[in-house]
Amino acid sequence: MTKEQEYIIAVTKYGRRNCEKIIKSILYNIRKMHKLINKIERSLMNE
């Protein structure tokens, strides 16, 4: 199953509104993780 198919199934299951909310929250969490990883990398380099 491709990402597009998964997305279509999710949209029909949860409706567009919820899908957009879910996607936004996932992207937000990914950004937070990137910031955290960058902090950890910097602190490791400083040691």
- 1-47 pLDDT per residue, tens: 788 888 888 778 777 777 788 889 999 999 999 999 999 999 999 98
Domain of residue 25 covers 1-47
What pLDDT does residue 16 have?
74
Sign of torsion, CA 13 17 22 27?
A: positive
What pLDDT does residue 40 have?
95
Instruction: Give the total number of structural domains in the chain.
Output: 1
Phi/psi class of residue 31: alpha, beta or left (left: φ > 0; alpha: ψ in -120 to 50)? Answer: alpha
CA distance 22 to 13: 13
Tokens representing residue 37 in the block: 């990883």
What pLDDT does residue 39 have?
96
Entry pTM: 0.53
